[in-house]
Every structure is written in C-alpha cells, then in structure tokens.
C-alpha cells in the first residue's frame, strides 16, 4: 500500500507534553527569548512551565550568565549602572567581566532578590526593576511619598510573589508612612499599610531571607537597630539592638549571630587574620549561596581593577578576584555590590 504523503505547507504537530518537556530543558536565556516567538509559545511557557523552577535550577546548578556583582560607576554623564558575570581563568584569581545593561543619573541604591535587581535614588526617582536574564526594565508607579524615602525589595515564597515596600523618612507626622507594591498585581497600585513599630531612619543595604527582609536603622534614641519586614504578612517587627562592641581589630573578622531575639542574646565568632593585608576601605560584606563564602569588597567608590576577596570560613581560606571592564580604565571609580545568590529568572516584569 502506498504511504500517504503529507501535504506541502503542513507543520509538524508536536504533542503539548513533549513541547513542555523540550522547553524545560532550554537554558534560561533561550527560554526567555522563546516567550516572544508567538503568543502561543508565550502562553505555553507561562501556563505550563513553572517560572520558579528556573530559579530553583539556577540555585542547584549556578549559571555563568547570572550576575555576580552590580557596579555603580561615576562618570561625567552621571552614573552607569551595570552588572558582571564570572569567568574562570587558569590562575588563583577569578576574572569578573562586566556586562553593561543600563544607564541612569539617579541610581544610588541597589537590591538583588532571586534574579531581579531593584534600584533607586534616596533623594528622588522611582523604584525600577531590571531582569538581567530577559534584559528588560520597568519603573514602578510613583509612591506619592515625599523624597528621602527608603525601599525594601523582597520575595513571598508562599505565593511566589515579589513585593516592594516604601518607607518614608521620619517627619513631624505621628505615624511613619509606608506603602507596598505587589509585582504582577492587576491594579498596579501602591497600598497603604501600618508601620506599627517605633519611628526609625533606615540605612545601609537590606537583605531578604526566607520571606523576611532585614535592614538596619537608627531609632529615635539614636541607637542602631535591626528591623524585619515579613513579606508574606506585610508586618514590621523584631526590633533588635545591635551589639555595642562591633569594632574588631584591623586584621580579624567578627561574625555576630543572634541566638535569642526575645532576650537580645548574641554570640560572636572571630576569624583570625582574615583581613590581613586588605585595605581598611574594604568593608562591604556578603555571604554567598550555596557556598557560604564571605565576599569582601570596598564600601565606597574605589578604583576599577582593585582586588576583592572571597573568604571560606569552613576551611579558613581566602582567594582574590578582580573586575575587568571593556569600557573603563584603572582610574575610573566604581562602587561594588555583591550578589550573594546569583540565579536566572525568566519572569516578565509587565
């Protein structure tokens, strides 16, 4: 019997489950591009491929395309905001290569949460989100809160949602203003919430761990405290008193751990000679995931090409790295923000 030929122009009908399986195996950056092939492909990826699985895969199998550092570079035209990725070379040092993605004249503060970067200016400007995997950015609506605001960027693991909280600096008003924006909310509006704790002035860099954002602040009694914001319940709580004797020697590193929040009990571990030979300006730290290494970089603007360091407390070992840029020289000043859990994320910001 003669085999029936397929008419010219007909496509290949691939079963849906096989299509989803094939797409699951694509690297994140190609999967992100595939979403824009057609409306049908976008629907398949959004409905059948769990976006969170891409992040989970990156955590277990780190990708070289995930950002490792954020750079804030001072130039004549303003501030160049860029990120870097790591490239291994045959030496004891790692080479960190810059990949520029955006320019802005107001970015001064940055937070990185599960593959997304949030940046803003303390004095003016909106909070902007950027996805390094999809190379897309979106500014959030204006909060209506006066300038000198502070943003908190976090992730709700129960609802698989990203949220941004905006806190007003203390004023003469009896209660401190605070609003929350949920990424993906159809209303695309900021919601008022109760601050419900003592008035405070946030500072430094916040960190989101397990659905809770922790940040430092100055209380009304001028003491430094650590405050937490639960991304799930949208409640502020746990005002921790920072240990008074935080200053160590020029060569040793003290790691403080809160053992009991109610009793304000802290324990301290000292790692001897970790900072030996490192300039005193190197005072911005981060802890990598899942390796647990401590990243040591300059806190203020520093010359590009200067060394940064990774310290592994488990084996008491320190290694150095250097950041290189195809567009900057050794006399250009940069501020470095370590990304402690570099992952890829194909989430759409719109």
Which of 170, 222, 241, 110 has its CA nearest to residue 178?
170
pLDDT band at 212 (very low <50, low <70, confident <90, very high): very high
- Residue 143: both structure tokens together: 């909060």
User: pLDDT for 313-334, tens place per residue?
Assistant: 888 888 888 877 766 666 777 7
Rounded to 5°, the CA angle 330-341-184 comes to 110
The residue ranking higher by pLDDT, 268 or 2, is 268
Return the closest-CA partner of residue 139 out of 119, 154, 160: 119
Nearest in space to 46 (alpha carbons), one of 57, 38, 35: 35
> Can you give the pLDDT at residue 107?
57
**What is the pLDDT at residue 3?**
47
What is the DSSP secondary structure assignment for residue 30, as one 8-state letter?
Answer: H
Whether this prediction's pTM lies above 0.85 is answered by no
Band (88; pLDDT cuts 50, 70, 90): very low
Neighbours of 222 (CB within 10 A): 7
User: Where residue 231 falls among pLDDT bands split at 50, 70, 90?
Assistant: very high
Question: Are β-strands 302-303 and 161-168 bridged in parallel, bridged antiparallel, or unpaired?
Answer: unpaired
**Which tens digit of pLDDT belongs to each residue from 18-60?**
877 777 777 777 777 777 787 777 777 777 665 556 676 666 6
Q: Calculate the alpha carbon distances from 201 to 108, 168, 183, 228 in Å.
A: 17, 8, 25, 13
Separation CA 162–CA 234 (nearest Å) = 12
**pLDDT at site 29:** 73
């Amino acid at each position: 019997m003669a085999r029936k030929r397929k008419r010219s122009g007909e496509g290949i009908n691939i079963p849906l489950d096989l299509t989803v399986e094939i797409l699951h195996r694509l690297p994140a950056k190609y999967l992100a591009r595939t979403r824009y092939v057609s409306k049908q492909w976008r629907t398949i990826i959004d409905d059948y491929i769990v976006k969170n699985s891409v992040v989970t895969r990156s955590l277990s199998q780190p990708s070289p395309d995930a950002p490792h550092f954020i750079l804030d570079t001072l130039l004549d035209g303003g501030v160049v905001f860029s990120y870097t990725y790591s490239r291994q070379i045959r030496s004891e040092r790692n080479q960190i290569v810059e990949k520029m993605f955006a320019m802005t004249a107001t970015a001064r503060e940055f937070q990185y949460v599960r593959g997304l970067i949030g940046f803003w200016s303390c004095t003016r400007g909106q909070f902007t989100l950027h996805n390094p995997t999809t190379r897309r950015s979106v500014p959030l609506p204006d909060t209506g809160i006066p300038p000198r605001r502070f943003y908190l960027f976090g992730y709700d693991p129960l609802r698989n949602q990203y949220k941004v909280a905006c806190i007003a600096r203390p004023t003469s008003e009896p209660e401190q203003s605070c609003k929350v924006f949920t990424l993906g909310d159809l209303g695309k509006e900021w919601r008022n919430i109760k601050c419900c704790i003592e008035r405070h002035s946030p500072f430094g860099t916040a960190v989101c761990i397990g659905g809770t954002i922790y940040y430092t602040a100055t209380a009304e009694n001028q003491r430094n405290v650590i405050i937490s914001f639960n991304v799930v319940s949208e409640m502020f709580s746990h005002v921790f008193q920072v240990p008074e004797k935080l200053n160590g020697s020029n060569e040793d590193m003290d790691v403080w751990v809160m053992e009991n929040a109610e009793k304000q009990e802290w324990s301290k571990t000292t790692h001897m000679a970790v900072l030996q030979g490192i300039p005193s300006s190197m005072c911005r730290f981060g802890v990598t995931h899942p390796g647990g290494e401590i990243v040591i970089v300059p806190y203020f603007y520093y010359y590009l090409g200067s060394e940064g360091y990774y310290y592994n407390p488990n084996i008491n070992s320190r290694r150095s790295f250097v950041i290189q840029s195809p567009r900057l020289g050794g006399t250009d000043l940069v501020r470095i923000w370590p990304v402690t859990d570099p992952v890829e994320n194909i989430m759409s910001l719109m």
